[in-house]
């Protein structure tokens, strides 16, 4: 039987993928806390979902250790525990390697890898205390093939694989699982703005299922890994890309 009323934290909740993940848990009757750096996106999320007390939002930069710690204290005081953490905050600019600056490299690593570390580190005690929890990191299928112009992003997502596998071994005895959902090129608004339509369309022909990958394609797999049906799955990477990468 599916659990309801769980306390679920989703970072990057104002984005295309994050907002769809929020929707899936809301539909289950869970209590959602959506985080995002962009306050405008959070206001839009709250206004369009009309979920009342079931959805709260918090403007938090996951790269800011003090802000993350303050958020964790707020969650402890308000809810007392956390059942599910979905690390979905991401940043994926296109910069050729030889033109990439150290600052650009560090920014992408900070958001995609260090941010997941900080959120997990801050909220893990609120899972361990109850002997149950689910952590799902949004990775990327790009770690299996590489992407031109995104060396920093692919390196960060490769780090997510290592973080997930190692942490799964450390905290399994507490009834907590840690997994990755790794999307392919997903058609979100930032992707539409930054990538040529020809490139996006070409991805369809490389897939077993020949259509665009949409944000909602990720919500179901994330939800599955947070269900009782996935009690014996941990440290794994679930590639969701329409069958392009056979992993």
Catalytic residues: 153
Q: Is 56 helix (H, G, I), strand (E, B) or coil?
A: strand
Q: Which residues lie across from 239 on neighbouring strands?
A: 182
Compute, in degrees rounded to 10, the torsion defined by CA atoms 103, 105, 108, 110.
Answer: -70
Long-range contacts, stretch 162-171, CB < 8 angstroms, 24+ apart: 163/113, 163/116, 163/117, 163/120, 163/137, 164/137, 164/139, 164/235, 164/237, 165/235, 167/120, 167/135, 168/234, 168/235, 169/235, 171/124, 171/128
Q: d(Cα 201, Cα 228) in Å, to the nearest integer?
A: 37
- CA 73, 180, 84: angle at the middle one, nearest 5? 30
Token pair for residue 8?
């679920």
CB-count burial class (<10 Å; 0-12, 13-18, 19+) for 181: buried
Q: d(Cα 199, Cα 53) in Å, to the nearest integer?
A: 41
Pairing, β 55-59 against β 176-183: unpaired
């Amino acid at each position: 039987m599916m659990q309801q009323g769980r306390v679920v934290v989703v970072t990057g909740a104002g984005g295309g993928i994050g907002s769809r993940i929020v929707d899936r848990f809301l539909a289950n009757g869970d209590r959602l806390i959506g985080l995002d750096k962009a306050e405008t996106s959070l206001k839009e999320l709250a206004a369009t979902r009309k979920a009342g007390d079931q959805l709260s939002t918090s403007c938090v930069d996951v790269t800011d250790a003090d802000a993350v710690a303050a958020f964790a204290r707020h969650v402890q005081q308000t809810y007392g525990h956390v059942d599910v953490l979905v690390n979905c905050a991401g940043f994926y600019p296109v910069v050729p390697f030889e033109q990439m600056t150290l600052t650009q490299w560090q920014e992408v690593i900070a958001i995609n890898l260090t941010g997941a570390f900080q959120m997990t580190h801050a909220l893990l005690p609120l899972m361990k205390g109850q002997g149950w929890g689910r952590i799902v990191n949004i990775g990327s299928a790009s770690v299996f093939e590489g992407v031109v112009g995104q060396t920093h992003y692919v390196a960060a997502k490769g780090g997510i694989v290592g973080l997930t596998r190692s942490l799964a071994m450390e905290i399994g005895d507490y009834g907590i699982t840690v997994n990755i959902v790794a999307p392919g090129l997903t058609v979100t608004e930032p992707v539409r703005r930054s990538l040529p339509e020809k490139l996006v369309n070409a991805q369809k022909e490389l897939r077993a299922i020949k259509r665009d990958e949409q944000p909602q394609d990720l919500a179901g797999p994330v939800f599955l890994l947070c269900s009782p049906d996935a009690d014996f799955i941990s440290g794994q990477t679930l590639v969701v890309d329409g069958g392009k990468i056979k992993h």
